[in-house]
Structure 1
């Protein structure tokens, strides 16, 4: 990137959407993801982020601040609550109404385990299946061949079942019925109807946008030492990448799609990186301070080169998605955030914690929809990369 353009950091003409990253900052690897644990005296978020949450969640400023603080506490206590539950652990999620982490445990949990979970500050719910059993059931469904009418499936902690999403109007399809019959034979299944099939969010060439590979435009996710991470469907290893001004950025060094949807791009030729997610003028640019995983139910926001900044809620972890072109991707996180073509690869962030890169979804930012992302810690671990943090 030309240094004379740095003053335009907040415009669509930058290193695109996502988080960019600066050399010389303290790195946080995926292995030590708890890179930053804000104290209770810290402001929970920037004014811009609080404004976006008020807009997208219908909250007052005080309610947005309280929710972020509660989510940060829930994220912090989840590992201890999981350890306390032991083999009886059935999953966890953030209960927005109660403002607390909920931990599911099986009925054979010992009294001491229950006391230990509650001692962390989490509330407890009894379920039939442990998280390990539910994940094993979902893995059995993963081995089935899904027809186009089945859009995704996941081990849902709150319902304690494998939830299968079927596209509206396709449930009576013979192939869908066959899939559901096989799924029910191998797992505790419940079926949900969704309006349309998910698709990835790459787009054809449009002027003045973040980065290009060939005739595809996508969005930067998060900066790492030597480059940035993004979506795998945006380009293959060895493909060249150009920026908003069509000058050369670097090259895809690794890429995986389908099965996964992640990639990383090396940066050179005068471009550099900083630990920032663009707010696009909707909110102020957001600093990245770590990659602690937000629980189900927590608020989350996305930055992308087409629709810029939008917020929603984490709906599920480890969901398998069957995209409309037949590509199946595993271990994605589902959100209620909208996205559109060109947002692929962009940043998902919760507070100041990096979460993942946009993969795909259904709907749009006019009528709403759902979007999935590839968790960032998996990408860092896969390629041995180090996240840049402020």
Structure 2
């Protein structure tokens, strides 16, 4: 291995969620209950305070509520059946909200601890409508489109300065003829976050610097636009590290890099001193509205919220499908880096707009899709 790995106790000290030990004997009536352990490290709470404007107490409460919401989402989806209209985490209410096209399943869904909202279109119908939009060629002034369960429509995002361009207006008109559409604006067009060779804790291919996503058995996953299959990869110190075994971009934005002997994988996402390094426990999907953090070799540890899923992002190189949109900022060189919610891997950084000084939005390619595409197994603790 070409870099120093911190001692094992320090790694395991990076656990996001603490585990309470259940008592196996009666507690005397006069004994005060032990204080509730913190749900997250001080560093993570500091990052959430900085990026989400929360107090430490609010951040802890939100993390607990988000974990509970993620735990009931699949059961709520099954309970709703064909009337399922999508779901999202509501920070104000601290619970999952499930959209329904019929009230007949409302009581069953609410019994799971979720809120409900009556809507017109099912999630399946909206997904089919978005798929029809995916078949259209989009001009550069269209940033992307996704299904928004909260709006119960397909949201088409256009670049503000291009909103009146004939090609953009024509695309929006065709979209509205195809699906229930809501149009929103963004300040800038999305771009990928690869960068030229600079210092940091990256990997390199050619003269491009990108960031490692998640360890898998045999290597790691990252962004496809960082390198093509067969390309050699150098580690942070410039020494030979591995080879791109598979890569897809555009259409998708993911890749698999196998590593050489002398390097090994660990189930850890770097916290860059802002938070303790995060252990990866799995890849359960965080709902829309959940808090999420990103680790990258340029802007390091940044947090925000999940804004949308299954969005088609229209880069200048071509459209990329099934992306997740977040309010997390990023900059050049962050491409490929890890998005994580709690201790659950979410995806690898693709691109976005803006920066970490003025703000912006960033998309990631979901990690479970990458694992399935290449038959990989996530390295977990």
What is the TM-score with the length of structure 2 in the denominator?
Answer: 0.91
C-alpha spacing 1:365/1:8, structure 2 compared with 1 (3 Å): farther
Please say if residues 200 and 298 of structure 2, whose CA atoms lie closer than 8 Å, have aligned partners that are also in contact. no
Specify the alignment match of 2:51 in structure 1.
Answer: 56
Distance 1:48 1:37 in 2: 14
2:327 aligned residue: 336
Is the aligned partner of 1:6 residue 2:1? no
Q: Deviations over 1:347-368 (max 9, x none)?
A: 0000111000000000000000
Unaligned runs of 5+ in 2: 12-16, 22-35
SS at match of 2:378: strand
Instruction: Select the residue among 87, 96, 108 that pairs with 2:91.
Output: 96
Greater relative CO (CA pairs within 8 A, separation 6+): 1
2:42 to 39, 44, 47: 47
Q: Which moved more, 1:40-49 or 1:257-266?
A: 40-49
- Larger gyration radius, structure 1 or structure 2: 2
- 2:282 maps to 290
1:225 aligns with 2:224: no
- TM superposition shift of 1:46: 2.1
Q: Secondary structure at the match of 1:289?
A: coil
CA displacement at 1:61 relative to structure 2:
1.2
**Which consecutive aligned stretches of 4+ in structure 1 deviate over 3 angstroms post-superposition?**
36-43
Specify the SS of the correspondent of 1:64. Answer: helix
Distance 1:38 1:74, change over 3 A: farther
The correspondence for 2:347, drawn from 353, 356, 361, is 356
Determine helix, strand or coil for the equivalent of 1:172. coil
Q: Unaligned 5+ residue runs, structure 1?
A: 10-19, 21-35
CA distance in 2, matches of 1:39, 1:129: 42
Q: Deviations over 1:224-283 (max 9, x none)?
A: 000000000001111110011110111011111111100110011311111111011111
Instruction: Please name the residue that 1:272 is paired with.
Output: 264
Distance 1:84 1:320 in 2: 28
Alignment of 1:123-138 (within 5 A): 123-138=115-130
Q: Is the 8 A contact 1:170 1:176 kept in 2?
A: yes
Q: Higher mean Cα deviation, 116-125 or 49-58?
A: 49-58
Report 1:127-276 matches (<5 A).
127-276=119-268
Asked if the contact 1:71–1:94 (Cα under 8 Å) also holds between the matched residues in 2, the reply is yes
Q: Does the 8 Å contact 1:44/1:351 carry over to 2?
A: no
Q: In the TM superposition, what whole-angstrom CA distance separates every residue of 1:12-58 from its partner, at most 9, and x where no partner exists?
A: xxxxxxxx9xxxxxxxxxxxxxxx99779774222211121122112
With normalisation by structure 1, the TM-score equals 0.89
Contact 1:304–1:343 (8 Å) recurs in 2? yes
What SS class does the counterpart of residue 162 from structure 2 fall into?
Answer: coil
Given candidates 305, 314, 317, the residue that maps to 2:297 is 305
Paired residues of 1:209 and 1:217 also in contact (CA < 8 A): no
Q: Does 1:372 find its partner at 2:363?
A: yes
Q: Secondary structure at the match of 2:5?
A: helix
CA distance in 1, matches of 2:238, 2:7: 16
Structure 1 CA distance for aligned equivalents of residues 328 and 163 of structure 2: 25
The corresponding residue for 2:27 is none
RMSD: 1.8
